[in-house]
Chains A and B, each alone.
Chain A
Amino acid sequence: MIKILVALDCRVINLRTIDFACFMARLTHSKLIGIFLEEREFEKTPTRKIVLGQPYIETIVASDIPGNEARQKTMLENIHVFKDACENRGIPTGSRVADGIPATEIVRETRFADVLIVDATTSFSNKPEASPTDFVKEILTRSECPVIIAPESDGIIGEIIFPCDYSRSAATAIKHFSYLFPEFGNKKLTVLEVKKEETKPDADVGRLNEWLAVHYQNAVYVSLKGDPTDEIFAYLLKRDNIMAVMGSYGRSSLSRLFRPSHAELVTKTMTRPLFISHD
């Protein structure tokens, strides 16, 4: 039994994300906890604040904001929808409202959770954003547990695809995935390797093989030639009913400026679930 978190925007609820989270929770007999995120602009009660070195009492409170009551009502309704969805499927559940800085709140929760499910379009910005949004990117870099980007289509998973460059980050991702979801051990696992040019097989193939043999009954290797980022992306898009396991975002932020990370490109048009573990 593991603890699965699902990050939800309390203003708009994404039923597909909830469906997917419930599917994962049922599969692993886990507890599903909904974290309803709300960006707090004003406190509930007057508080002391400091501006330009001068303390003052902020007397505008949340209830003074027009539409506050309606917002509270929508939130309660959304929590109700989530709870109903879980209870109808017989999943132990809990929910919490996190009203602070959304990313900080969720990172604190991830320390004590096994996996976090989030929708790539979750955003707390007033402007329209391309997915993955800044909020999702921040979570991906700061989360203390693996993150699953929920798919936009139905979550039936028949195959696991593991893009592997024989780095420690890739190995950590597949290890975490297998610890959390041993239920997928009987599914087909594709180790996808993309090389720019023909080279000798990696010295670690044998070691990886030995590890895979213990955890997966049906593992196959696919080797492609070309630019890794594009090829992996194209390969994933061609397939349905898959889950991709990736260990990127481990690179320092500096190198990412020059080289867009795999996971980022993939989440952009991702309609398949994506498991990302970044340490």
Chain B
Amino acid sequence: MKKIVAAFDGLKFSNSTMEYASLLAKKESDHLVGVFLEDFTYHSYKIYELVDKEGISPEKLKSYEEKDAETRANAVKTFQTACRNKKIDFSVREDANIAIRELLRETIYCDLLVIDAHETLTHYNEPAPSRFMRDLLSETQSPVLVVPSEFKPIEKYILLYDGGPTSVYAIKMFDYLFSRQKDIQIELLHVREDEQPLLETDKKLIKEFLKLHFPESKFTVLKGPAESGIISHLKKQKENALVVLGAYRRGTVSRWFRESMADTLLQNLNLPLFIAHNK
């Protein structure tokens, strides 16, 4: 039983978000909310396209606006049809307020948010993670599933564990929220950056935790720098893996100097990421 929010850009409908969201919301009692983000500063045309010899032409503006409205209506229709075909209980929200603020309010009252990694809410192309995504990930109140632009079925779960509270929190949330298929392999990945091994007590506790929550999981420990180690390990995977990580808890200021692991993964990999943080 879950309430899942799928966030869409009405002008660039992401089929992949739709596919992943409906994969998660297929249980009968689940509810899927399609949030179509609109921001009055955001449209598909550029302002200088409106300008001709006499200044801004009202006819041109009207025709462009009508075109945008039609694209948005079509996106909503696509969502509704897909939900009906898959027999998913759904509702639709079109918000004309500032996009990010509305979406953050939604995350307070939902269990999981699904969004495309390339969502920018601008017509400029930005490399992932866009400024919009960074703001969203640092302020979200529910776990977020960041999906690649192309849908592939999930064949493996990889849980990143760095010994810190946020990573364990993310793993707990993943366990509570994700209806997993039984036969999918689960791997817990830990990277030892320095020579210091995991605290003996922590090791016992995480093993006990895994035994109760993920009895069939595998525990992999790598040595070396965390970021490159994780990326090369993830690139080696033959299966399409879903990566679980806690992120973005560090203060904004420290993020200017060092990127969060989630940023690095978004830049380098094309895998769905389950991101949760507890503050």
Measured CB to CB, the residues of A under 8 A from B are 1-3, 31, 94, 108-109, 111-114, 144-145, 168, 171-172, 175, 179-180, 182, 185, 203-204, 207-208, 210-211, 213-215, 279
Chain A residues within an 8 Å CB radius of B168: 111-112, 144
Q: Are B2 and A214 in contact (CB under 8 A)?
A: yes
Q: Are B106 and A207 in contact (CB under 8 A)?
A: yes
Contacts A1-B212, A204-B109 known; A279 to B1 CB distance under 8 Å? no
Q: Which of A144, A171, A204 contacts B169 (CB 8 A)?
A: A144
Alpha-carbon gap, A144 to B2, bound state (A): 23
Chain A residues within an 8 Å CB radius of B202: 108, 112
Alpha-carbon gap, A190 to B165, bound state (A): 32
Q: Are A204 and B205 in contact (CB under 8 A)?
A: no
Alpha-carbon gap, A1 to B211, bound state (A): 10
Taking CB as reference atom, which chain A residue is nearest B33? A210
Alpha-carbon gap, A31 to B215, bound state (A): 13
Taking CB as reference atom, which chain B residue is nearest A109? B205
Task: Encode B1-37 as 1/0 by CB contact (under 8 A) with A.
Answer: 1110000000000000000000000000111010000
Interface range for B? 20 to 34
B269 close to chain A: CB less than 8 A:
no
Chain B residues within an 8 Å CB radius of A185: 1
Q: Are B105 and A204 in contact (CB under 8 A)?
A: yes
Q: Which of A112, A207, A213 contacts B209 (CB 8 A)?
A: A112
Chain B residues within an 8 Å CB radius of A3: 208-209, 212-213
Alpha-carbon gap, A113 to B213, bound state (A): 10
Alpha-carbon gap, A204 to B202, bound state (A): 40
Measured CB to CB, the residues of B under 8 A from A are 1-3, 29-31, 33, 91, 105-106, 108-111, 141-142, 165, 168-169, 172, 176-177, 201-202, 205-206, 208-209, 212-213, 278-279
Q: Are A211 and B212 in contact (CB under 8 A)?
A: no
Q: Are B176 and A171 in contact (CB under 8 A)?
A: no
CB distance from A177 to the nearest CB of B (A): 11
Q: Are B172 and A114 in contact (CB under 8 A)?
A: yes
Taking CB as reference atom, which chain B residue is nearest A180? B176
Q: Are A214 and B141 in contact (CB under 8 A)?
A: no
Alpha-carbon gap, A185 to B177, bound state (A): 16
Taking CB as reference atom, which chain A residue is nearest B29? A214
Chain A residues within an 8 Å CB radius of B278: 144, 279
Q: Which of A2, A111, A210, A214 contacts B205 (CB 8 A)?
A: A111
Q: Are B208 and A214 in contact (CB under 8 A)?
A: no
Chain B residues within an 8 Å CB radius of A180: 176
Contacts A1-B212, A210-B91, A214-B30 known; A171 to B1 CB distance under 8 Å? no
CB distance from A99 to the nearest CB of B (A): 13
Contacts A111-B205, A112-B209 known; A210 to B109 CB distance under 8 Å? yes
Alpha-carbon gap, A215 to B165, bound state (A): 27
Contacts A210-B91, A211-B3 known; A112 to B205 CB distance under 8 Å? yes
Q: Are B177 and A179 in contact (CB under 8 A)?
A: yes
Q: Which of A109, A111, A114, A168 contacts B141 (CB 8 A)?
A: A168
Chain A residues within an 8 Å CB radius of B1: 182, 185, 214-215
Q: Are B165 and A207 in contact (CB under 8 A)?
A: no
